[in-house]
């Protein structure tokens, strides 16, 4: 295995944190970006950046690419606003687009020239099962669907450079944020669980392992793809 240097946005919690630990344990250098960077146990370098702030994000990325030669990027940060159709607020919509899409575009534009120069790179966009349709997620689902479009477009543009671009679309995953909004035994928990044929939620480490594979040297012939990691939720209901 060749030790690599990877950049992860939204790295302080949930899937991003699990991935950071997995990559660091495998011997890679991890640089994480998060709104709050007060975790001394983070397995790498954690940088405080508000990824919803375009100027702050630009400055931070410029500094990072001067310090590190990034081999891979995971656009993991996300923001959701739960609003039914008649109550979608355009300011909230813009905030969701800004955090999910602007940050992914800015980070990718910052790091891919170096990857191209070195002839090797991995870009992973974290999408969501919600792209297949879920009530009250107009803004979030639109942003996550756009990340799949980014994935396909960028994969074509970079196909001959040694850089692969893929997406991972998790289903319901038992992160801290998920549990804050869906307590054990709650109606929300049951609603999500009913849509997963496996009958359980994913763990952050399970999503991270799929991402880690797509970032590895073994995934070199895979590009432009979206991998659903969702306990079967994307294929339909269980037969019993």
DSSP code for 117: H
In the numeric block, which tokens belong to residue 230?
């969702």
71-92 b/e (C-beta count within 10 Å ≥ 16 → b): bbbbbbbbbbbebeeeeeeeeb
Task: Please give the helix or strand (H or E) that residue 91 lies within, else none.
Answer: helix 90-97
- E strand or H helix at 137, and its extent? none
- Which residues, at least 6 apart from 207, have a Cβ–Cβ distance to it below 8 Å? 15, 18, 19, 168, 170, 173, 229
**Active-site amino acid positions:** 140
Cβ(155)–Cβ(114) under 8 Å? no
- Looking at 98-171, list the stretches that DSSP marks H as alpha helix, in order from N- to C-terminal side: 103-118, 138-158
């Amino acid at each position: 295995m060749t030790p690599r240097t990877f950049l992860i946005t939204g790295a302080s919690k949930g899937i991003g944190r699990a991935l950071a630990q997995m990559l660091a344990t495998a011997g890679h250098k991890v640089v994480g970006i998060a709104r709050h960077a007060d975790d001394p146990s983070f397995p790498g370098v954690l940088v405080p950046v508000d990824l919803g702030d375009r100027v702050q994000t630009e400055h931070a990325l410029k500094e990072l690419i001067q310090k590190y030669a990034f081999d891979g990027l995971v656009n993991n940060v996300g923001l959701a606003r739960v609003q039914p159709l008649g109550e979608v607020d355009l300011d909230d919509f813009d905030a969701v687009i800004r955090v999910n899409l602007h940050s992914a575009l800015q980070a990718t534009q910052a790091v891919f020239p170096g990857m191209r120069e070195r002839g090797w790179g991995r870009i992973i966009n974290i999408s969501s099962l919600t792209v297949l349709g879920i009530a009250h997620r107009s803004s979030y689902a639109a942003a996550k669907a756009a990340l799949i479009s980014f994935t396909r477009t960028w994969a074509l543009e970079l196909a001959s450079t040694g850089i692969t671009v893929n997406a991972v679309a998790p289903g319901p995953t038992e992160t801290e944020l998920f549990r804050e909004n869906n307590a054990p035994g709650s109606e929300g928990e049951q609603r999500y669980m009913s849509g997963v044929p496996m009958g359980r939620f994913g763990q952050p480490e399970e999503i991270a392992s799929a991402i880690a594979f797509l970032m590895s040297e073994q995934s070199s012939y895979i590009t432009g793809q979206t991998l659903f990691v969702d306990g079967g939720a994307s294929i339909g209901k269980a037969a019993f």
